[in-house]
Amino acid sequence: MATKERIALTGNEATAMAMKQINPDVCAAYPITPATEIMQIFATYVADGLVNTELVTVESEHSAMSATIGACCAGARSMTATSSQGLAYMFEMLYIAAGLRLPIVMPMVNRALSAPINIHCDHGDSMGTRDAGWIQINAENVQESYDNLIMAMRIAEHPEVQLPAMVTFDGFIISHAMEPVDVISDAEVQEFIGEYKPRFSLLDIDNPITVGAIDFNDYYFEHRRAIAEPMINGVLKVAEEVSDEFAKKFGRKYGIFQEYRMDDAEVAIVVLGSAAGTAKYVIDELRQKGIKAGMIKIRLFRPFPYKQLAEALKDVKAVAVLDRSDALAGMGGPVFGEVRSALYDLPVRPITTNYVYGLGGRDITLDHIRGVYGDLLSIANEDKVPANLVTYLGVRE
């Protein structure tokens, strides 16, 4: 059995502890609310000699990702952390990290993007970078944010993957909330992630390589296809394998998504992040009343588990997709588009609607979730697509 200790930690504290246990070779740091504490706490580990990490303090988030890319190209296990505007500032470099197939792992605390200026949670930041070639793993609570970071390192560095991974969790709701966390020992984390064996190193003068070469129409298409291949055929399989191994060693099973009371569900919510906990409470209420309600919490958003999700939802009459961001596409949020697309080829499709909620940190309440399930029951009973597919839940308008 694994050695574990249960202690009270915030999401930021738990993430910094996971980083300490991973003990990366290089970590580049630039502060931004609400992720600042991650790097602040990790810097104390460096100062106290508890890690062997070379901590690089830089002048911006763009520089943080640039330094992380450089370190990873040199063969170092490399990490950084950010949030919101910082992630947006990194945007150019995110594509380069993925294009170079660098297994960088980055905690990313979800926070609304400006304008107007807001420091609280929504998922607009990570959703804005969903097509940059990064694996995206989402957490519901502090325990999951800790576990996800450890598993992400194994997934990103796997020979069949070799892609960067972003581990997201809700700003303030998780980052600054304290919960009991089962912490694994440093030695067991090191054993689980294993020694990093880079595919190449710029410092290996006996085997020189070129990084960042110009790549016009001669080979650009082929190289972009090489990034798509592990997303299509590698990540989902590896993520399931790593999750299974993590469960055997440490007793916590996650999978690519979590089904909650879905065995006989007639109506269901699809959600990611901390709102899943609120939904579970309401589902238990409804089940006591004989209402067959369920939920799917998406954990792995990139690559998106289309086939698996369609299989899980094929017998449901009506589905509500909850988006904590708005794609501003005139057709709801980004998760809605992914889920609806996944269901398209089913012989009989559930009626699927979208609720955009919680932008800028606005609370989603039990009554909000109860209202969503009430709408779903009406839709299922009428068996008719509603006039408005997209609802802005909790907004004053």
DSSP letter string over 248-270? HHHS----SEEEES-TT-SEEEE
pLDDT at 212 over 90: no
Percent of the chain clearing pLDDT 70 (strictly above) = 99
Return the pLDDT at 110.
98
Question: What is the pLDDT averaged over residues 140-150?
Answer: 98
Handedness of CA 187, 193, 198, 199 (dihedral sign): positive
Which band of pLDDT confidence, cut at 50, 70 and 90, is reported for residue 397?
confident
At 3, which amino acid appears?
A: T
Handedness of CA 383, 384, 386, 390 (dihedral sign): positive
Return the pLDDT at 154.
98
Return the pLDDT at 4.
75
Burial class (CB within 10 angstroms; exposed 0-12, middle 13-18, buried 19+) of 54: middle
Distance CA 167, CA 6 (A): 22
Distance CA 72, CA 74 (A): 5
Decide if 120 contacts 172 (C-beta within 8 A): yes
| pLDDT, tens digit, 9 for 90 and up, residues 3-54 | 679 999 999 999 999 999 999 999 999 999 999 999 999 999 999 999 999 9
pLDDT at 273 over 90: yes
Distance CA 386, CA 374 (A): 13
Least confident range of 75-79, 130-134, 214-218, 280-284:
214-218
Q: Is 98 helix (H, G, I), strand (E, B) or coil?
A: helix
Return the pLDDT at 351.
97
Distance CA 197, CA 211 (A): 18
Question: What is the pLDDT averaged over residues 281-289?
Answer: 98
Just give the CATH number of 257-393. 3.40.50.920
Return the pLDDT at 101.
96
Return the pLDDT at 54.
98
Distance CA 344, CA 339 (A): 9
Average pLDDT, the chain: 97
DSSP 350: P
Return the pLDDT at 2.
67
- In the chain, CATH 3.40.50.920 covers 257-393
- Tell me how crowded residue 160 is: count the other CB atoms within 10 A of its CB: 14
Decide if 248 contacts 98 (C-beta within 8 A): no
Return the pLDDT at 1.
53
Of 336, 343, 351, 344, the closest CA to residue 393 belongs to 336
pLDDT at 357 over 60: yes
Decide if 36 contacts 11 (C-beta within 8 A): no
| pLDDT, tens digit, 9 for 90 and up, residues 290-339 | 999 999 999 999 999 999 999 999 999 999 999 999 999 999 999 999 99
Distance CA 129, CA 329 (A): 15
**CATH number for the 4-194+216-250 domain, one of 3.40.50.970, 3.40.30.10, 1.10.357.10, 3.30.70.1450?**
3.40.50.970
- In the chain, CATH 3.40.50.970 covers 4-194+216-250
Distance CA 94, CA 135 (A): 11
